[in-house]
Structure 1
Amino acid sequence: MTEETTVEKTWRGILEGHPTARRGEPAVIAAAYAEPRLRALYPIPSHGALTFHRNTQDPWSNDLPYIAGDEHSCIVYGPLHVGGVLGDSLTPQEAAALVVAQLTDDCGPAFEGPWPRPDSSVG
């Protein structure tokens, strides 16, 4: 049996409500986890938003769209350094699909360590 990656452990902790895991909107977390490409990225739920990162340690990549909202209505924002609303009044599933549609082909899975990748092959 293979050992869980940091990304897998983080998702599992969030989904199972582990005491040390960050808390997020359950419907948004579940919709994002259902998307294989998002499940391969490092999730950080915080302040009503779910961000995704290409790496597992601070500093974060912060170059991917993210979701804010709840089970009733979500907004997808562009990457933190670019900003802008990519979609609003979305279901969690629509929001997760929109984030996936914005990912480049070379995005994921997340690598272990801080951003940027030491060999500079990402970003």
Structure 2
Amino acid sequence: MDANDETCDQQLPLPPKPVLPDIAAARSRGPADVVEAHWQSLRLSWQWSQAVHQIRSPGRPYPGIVPLLEAAAAQPRLRRLYPFTSHFALLFSSSTSYPWTVQAGSIEPLHNGRFRVRRHRPFAVIGEVATAEEAVDLVLELLPTGPEPIITTSADRHV
């Protein structure tokens, strides 16, 4: 074994996993608390994933999901909706459980640091922008006008 093998076997310690909000307890308090707890949970989980990525793959870019979540959470109209991610894309639902009732569109952080915004219905790419804030602005334009959507839980819907 040479000196290079030893340094490869030594790994930096990973950050401790975050303590996530209790989603079950939030569900017992109602949809608004579920939405808030899930925003916190997503932010903490993705921040941890990014920190782990930086330790395990230093120098390799990580998609901009963390700044995207921060930019979206700063917007009151989006903050009222249930956020969820799929393949790094951020989406917003007026339902707090599956099947999702997607509002507006989705934002996908790209590996080149840009963000792609897609409309949900009809499905189409509506733009690619340089910052998370610009992407959030495009999604805000896609939200329905008029009254805000009513947030529902699976118990509120008749399936």
TM class by smaller structure: 0.7 to 0.9
**SS of structure 2 residue aligned to 1:66:** strand
Aligned counterpart in structure 2 of residue 37 of structure 1, from 62, 73, 77: 77
Write out aligned runs for 1:19-38 (5 A): 25-38=65-78
Counterpart code for 1:10 = H
Residue 78 of structure 1 corresponds to 119
Write out aligned runs for 1:1-123 (5 A): 5-17=33-45, 25-70=65-110, 72-79=113-120, 81-104=121-144, 105-108=146-149, 110-113=151-154, 117-118=157-158
Structure ID, larger Rg: 2
Percent pairwise identity: 30
Between the two proteins, the alignment pairs up a number of residues equal to: 112
Higher strand fraction: Structure 1 or Structure 2? 1
| Residues 103, 143 of structure 2: 8 Å contact kept | no
C-alpha RMSD of matched pairs (Å)? 2.9
Q: 1:114 to 1:52 in 2, by over 3 A?
A: farther
Q: 1:102 to 1:114 in 2, by over 3 A?
A: farther
Higher helix fraction: Structure 1 or Structure 2? 2
Counterpart code for 1:74 = F
Structure 1 runs of 4+ with >4 Å offset: none
Offset, 1:101: 1.4
Unpaired runs of 5+ in structure 1? 119-123
In 1, the alpha carbon distance for the partners of 2:155 and 2:124 equals 25
